[in-house]
Chains A and B, each alone.
Chain A
Amino acid sequence: MPKNTTETDQELVAAAIADRQAFSHIVHRYEAPLGRYVRRVGATESDADDVLQEVFVKLFINLNDYDPHLKFSSWLYRIAHNETVSFLRKKNIRPGVLTLSAEDVDFFFEQLADETDFAELASRRYDAQIVRESLRELAPRYAEVLTLRFLEEKSYSEISDILKVPEGTVATLINRGKQALKGTLATRGITHI
């Protein structure tokens, strides 16, 4: 079974509909990024594989629902997002709480550096634990858009497709999320923003 393929997502979908073995190509292509994503939005290391398995099984069952007008990865992230949120709710865990590694935190602020009002913050090195705690305090609706924008590097249009909200709402949530993050960082003495 080839681990890499040059076929497009759409071709892989068509192949998987015809032959379930071909579905493994889709799994190979997306298991790593989706695994990171479900962990970031709150699944523990031990739960992540279970969530991911459910995501891919759900994807397989719904392959015929794929709309080629939509980016395949956006559709897949949407399924992963919904499945993770549902899984966390079943376990009475607040969804949308960012679970970030130290590398994630660094990467997050590198991405934020592009935003002028966070440039100074990004240039400094703060205690990753403090920053993580600040991020964890964000309301889920802000955490999920900030994750998608600054960690998954998704465009506004992709985030709109993943969360099924208008692009204008995505922009509003990102701006409010950044303000909320500034607020939580300020309560921990980080005010050079």
Chain B
Amino acid sequence: MNNTLSKKILSQIESGDLTPLPRWRFIVLHTSFWIFAIASVVIGAIAVAATLFIFIDFYRHGLPLPPPPPPPPMRSTIIDFLQIIPLVWVVVFAVFILIAQVSLKHTRSGYRYQLSSVVLVSVVASILLGSAFHLLGVGRATHGLLEQAPPYRSMVYDAHAAWDRPTIGRLAGMVVAIESSGDFSLVDFRGRLWRVRVATSTKTLLPEASSTIRMFGTLDPRSGTFIAQSIHEWER
């Protein structure tokens, strides 16, 4: 065996005063990929939690029991379901699953696993963690926080907007005054004052002052009075 190569290499190392890079740099590098991967799965989980919250919120306020009187004030069809899919969260979920996949592939042993397995594990982890987040109220909190931003509101189902439709029989807000007849005044989520007459056939909840409610009914176009056919508590 000749020593020429060995000498050349050692000479290059010595002339360049080369030393092995410190271990901590590699630890930081490899750890950062795991941090990216875990953070991506967590953000994906938040997207799942917010999506679950939006769906549950929609069905809680959109499908009253007992069924409302005709005409049906809200369609509970597959179209409704598709319309309320929060695309913004679906996109966030997809993007962060992709980032998680790329990050995991760059970990020390990430290359050993098939792409499909890595994606499946990331998706399942995000969904399980997202469900736990939902139960802990993370979805509600995230949605509530982002709801302050109009661009976000325009991208997802907005329960307030869905119940701000008096012309098609949906109205919600806070009861501010109750008359002896049982009729009452309500301030909707946009701050407008409404006079509400409780229809004689209404057998549902009778409101209390300062409570927040949602109602199915009809709008009397001449007087501007909303005639409540059914009244429900606003649960959030």
Interfacial residues, chain A to chain B (CB-CB below 8 A): 1, 3, 16-17, 20-21, 23-24, 27-28, 31-32, 49, 52-53, 56-57, 60-65, 67, 69, 160, 164-169
A20-B14, A57-B13 are known; give 6 further A-B pairs, CB within 8 A: A21-B10, A28-B6, A67-B108, A160-B112, A167-B112, A168-B114
Complex contacts, A64 vs chain B, CB 8 Å: 20-23, 25-26
Q: Is B1 in contact with A24, judged by CB distance below 8 angstroms?
A: no
Complex contacts, A3 vs chain B, CB 8 Å: 1
Q: Is A62 in contact with B21, judged by CB distance below 8 angstroms?
A: yes
Residue of A nearest to B111 (CB): A164
Q: Is A20 in contact with B19, judged by CB distance below 8 angstroms?
A: yes
**Distance between B24 CB and nearest chain A CB, rounded to angstroms:** 9
Residue of A nearest to B105 (CB): A164
Contact A52:B21 (CB < 8 A) given known A20-B13, A21-B10, A67-B108? no
Tell me if B82 counts as interface (CB < 8 A to partner A): no
Complex contacts, B10 vs chain A, CB 8 Å: 20-21, 23-24
Q: How far is the CA of A11 from the CA of B20 in the complex (A)?
A: 16
Complex contacts, A165 vs chain B, CB 8 Å: 111
Q: Can you list 23 A-B pairs with a CB-CB distance of less than 8 A?
A: A1-B3, A17-B20, A20-B14, A20-B18, A23-B9, A23-B10, A27-B6, A31-B1, A49-B5, A53-B5, A53-B12, A57-B12, A57-B18, A60-B13, A60-B20, A61-B21, A62-B26, A63-B20, A64-B26, A65-B21, A69-B108, A165-B111, A168-B114
Q: Is A166 in contact with B12, judged by CB distance below 8 angstroms?
A: no
Interface centre among A1, A28, A64 (most CB of B within 10 A): A64
**Distance between B207 CB and nearest chain A CB, rounded to angstroms:** 62
Q: How far is the CA of A57 from the CA of B14 in the complex (A)?
A: 11
Complex contacts, A17 vs chain B, CB 8 Å: 20
B16-34 interface mask toward A, CB cutoff 8 Å, 1 = contact, 0 = none? Answer: 0011111101100000000
Q: Is A60 in contact with B18, judged by CB distance below 8 angstroms?
A: yes
Q: Is A23 in contact with B23, judged by CB distance below 8 angstroms?
A: no
Q: How far is the CA of A56 from the CA of B8 in the complex (A)?
A: 10
Contact A166:B114 (CB < 8 A) given known A23-B13, A60-B18? yes
Q: How far is the CA of A106 from the CA of B109 in the complex (A)?
A: 35
Q: How far is the CA of A108 from the CA of B203 in the complex (A)?
A: 88
Taking a contact as CB atoms closer than 8 A, the residue among B5, B13, B25, B108 that contacts A31 in the complex is B5
Q: How far is the CA of A164 from the CA of B10 in the complex (A)?
A: 29
Residue of B nearest to A21 (CB): B10
Q: How far is the CA of A23 from the CA of B19 in the complex (A)?
A: 11
Question: Which 3 A-B pairs rank lowest in CB-CB distance, beginning with the nearest?
Answer: A164-B111, A64-B23, A63-B20
Interface positions, chain B 159-198, Cβ under 8 Å from A, are: none
Residue of A nearest to B23 (CB): A64
**Distance between B229 CB and nearest chain A CB, rounded to angstroms:** 61
Q: How far is the CA of A142 from the CA of B3 in the complex (A)?
A: 34
Q: How far is the CA of A64 from the CA of B22 in the complex (A)?
A: 6
Interface centre among B10, B18, B113 (most CB of A within 10 A): B10
**Distance between A26 CB and nearest chain B CB, rounded to angstroms:** 9
Q: How far is the CA of A166 from the CA of B114 in the complex (A)?
A: 6
Taking a contact as CB atoms closer than 8 A, the residue among B5, B22, B113 that contacts A166 in the complex is B113
B209-232 interface mask toward A, CB cutoff 8 Å, 1 = contact, 0 = none? Answer: 000000000000000000000000
Q: Is A27 in contact with B20, judged by CB distance below 8 angstroms?
A: no
**Distance between A186 CB and nearest chain B CB, rounded to angstroms:** 32
